Structure 1
Amino acid sequence: MDYVKLKTAYEENIEHINLLDDNDIVNRWTLTETSIGLGLVLALYLLVVLKILPNYMKNREPYSLKSILTKYNAFQVLSSAYIVFLYARYIVKHGIITTRCPQGVDLQGVIKEIYPYFIAKHLDLLDTVFFVLRKKDNQVTFLHLYHHTAMVSWTWLHLMYHPTDHFVVVGLLNSLVHVIMYAYYGISSMGPEYQKYVWWKKHLTKIQLVQFILVISHLYYQQKLTPCPLPAFFHYFCVFSIGSFFFLFLKFYFNSYTNKRRRE
């Protein structure tokens, strides 16, 4: 396939492409509309987990939430596995590098498949709610809050502002990691007697670090090879987010495991 010709044709006709009309699955929002909607969601999230719930829990005993957490983590494992299936199927059919530029009807299938990932990133915010209700304040770190807010921002820009299949590989890798991560959370929440089954905790962080390397590599080659690249600001936002995740998770790994072992 001649990517240069495809890319030139796309750039010449982008202004004439009607991405989505009123009868389509989702109306494409402007960047301003997307930013306002996203801002409201993030403001509500941060207000709840940093102000409202901590004040509510101030003079209360921590909740156990054992039953709720078991069900929540099981659902997260299953829903993440479902997204892995959706995106693996899409990659087998259409390839790793996006060549289907946004032209309305061609994108209807993938827009449907963006929704599960979009919803999943919002359900992930419940992690923080459960930490606060259980008074696990040490878990509500800058890394935790930054990671969740950045991922929600990513999915809002993806679905509402620039809905394409550009992030299918990213969604697959991230959801695969979440299958493992929520399996770990689920086992851990079942009680002290199950801790012997989660000896691989530090290896989970290693898997996350490998994920970030693969995602950044894919974002680079995707933007370089696709005939319909992302808007520059969105591409660099994604690269910066994943790059910062890598360094923050790497710092967490050294602080939690390497430096701790040295102190012992």
Structure 2
Amino acid sequence: MLQEALSSIVKFHNYLQSRTDPRVRDYPLMQSPLHMTALLLVYVFFSVYVGPRLMANRKPFHLNTAMIIYNLCMVLMNGYIVYEFLMSGWATTFTWRCDLIDTSSSPQAYRMIRVAWLFYFSKYIELLDTLFFVLRKKQSQITFLHVFHHSFMPWTWWWGITLTPAGGMGSFHAMVNATVHVIMYSYYGLSAAGPRFQKYLWWKKYMTAIQLTQFILVSIHISQYYFMEKCDYQVPMWIHLIWMYGVFFFLLFSNFWVQAYIKGKRLPVMDDKPVQNGSTSEPIKVVANGKHVGNGNAHQYTNGKILIGKVKEI
């Protein structure tokens, strides 16, 4: 029984190796799903178990300077990704409707492959978001949605660019996501800069609206496939998965918007430590982005467990 299971795994691995697009095979983290899956499992284990326990009896680190630099780098990186997506098709040759997977060896195809891989790789860099939370003992912000989003995105994107690195209309959501991250990390950078920048953060409520707009755009764009008379997109499964992803996260963030801004049940708790200007020593982030959700009902870490909201426990 065990031998048959191992044989099936080996056959599946060999099948993936044969199906991997040769144009992306030599890129880092693209050789096998085992490497990236193991890395993401370590991330999840560290986020919900090891990290909080290591910090349980330690004082939180003050990492404002590091966070400012990190967020600035993420703004620049995502801005570059958006530009490259535009130049590799979306602002040049794409129709914004039925754009097929490019299997050629043209310079544009290789440019799309490079930026698709860079977008994928950026998801591993974003795992540092959680590390900052752990080191600063902001466990209330390490929600289930935060961990799920950070681990699910790179895992699913590995399959996408392994099989179809120049994905045509399937790459639209990546370009939109990178655009949103330019705005998001700009906000985080200003937030990390201290209380003197509070006056520039009046728009934090609209971060959720920006996220909702992202999922609406992605869902509308990909839904065109179902109404076209003919669209010979080579891997229809990607279309269905992207549509489900857009709708799923739209519902999640809509619920956050209702709970936080209409019912007022999930607004973050303000720090007790005041400063001279009457604001808190560190700005609170109210962003339902699957990343940094400050949940007012989330309990702080006290016993080695992370409690999400009032009843959810990981």
- TM-score (ref. length: structure 1): 0.81
| Structure 1 Cα separation of the partners of residues 189 and 150 of structure 2 | 19
In terms of fraction of residues, the more helix-rich structure is: 1
Q: Residue by residue, what CA displacement relative to the aligned partner does 1:222-263 show, whole Å, maximum 9, x if unpaired?
A: 57564224242x433332222221111111222222111899
CA RMSD of aligned residues (A): 2.7
2:159 corresponding residue in structure 1? 157
Report the Cα distance in structure 1 between the residues aligned to 2:241 and 2:54, rounded to whole angstroms.
35
Q: What are the residue-to-residue correspondences of 1:60-75 with 2, within 5 Å?
A: 60-75=58-73
Q: Name which of 28, 45, 48 aligns with 1:47.
A: 45
CA drift at 1:65: 0.5
Q: Are 2:39 and 1:36 equivalent residues in the alignment? A: no
- Equivalent-residue separation in structure 2 for 1:152 and 1:20 (angstroms): 18
**Structure 1: gaps of 5 or more residues:** 1-17
Percent of aligned pairs with the same amino acid: 32
Is residue 92 of structure 2 the alignment partner of residue 93 of structure 1?
yes
- State how far apart, in whole Å, the 2-side matches of 1:19 and 1:152 are: 17
Distance 1:226 1:35, change over 3 A: farther
Aligned to 1:176: 179
Identify the match of residue 243 of structure 2 among 224, 239, 255: 239
Equivalents in 1 of 2:266, 2:78: separation in Å?
36
Higher RCO by CA contacts (8 Å cutoff, separation 6 or greater): 1
Assess if the C-alpha contact under 8 Å between 2:52 and 2:139 holds in 1: no
In 1, Cα distance between equivalents of 2:99 and 2:212 = 28
Paired residues of 2:21 and 2:163 also in contact (CA < 8 A): no
Is the alpha carbon distance of 1:256 and 1:99 closer, same or farther for their aligned partners in structure 2, counting shifts above 3 Å?
Answer: closer
Equivalent in the alignment of 2:79: 81
More displaced stretch, 248-257 vs 35-44? 35-44
Query: 5+ unaligned residues in a row in structure 2: which ranges?
Result: 1-18, 268-314
Matches within 5 A, 1:10-21: 20-21=21-22
Query: Of residues 228, 233, 241 in structure 1, which corresponds to 2:233?
Result: 228
1:35 is displaced (CA, Å) by: 4.5
CA distance in 1, matches of 2:103, 2:146: 37
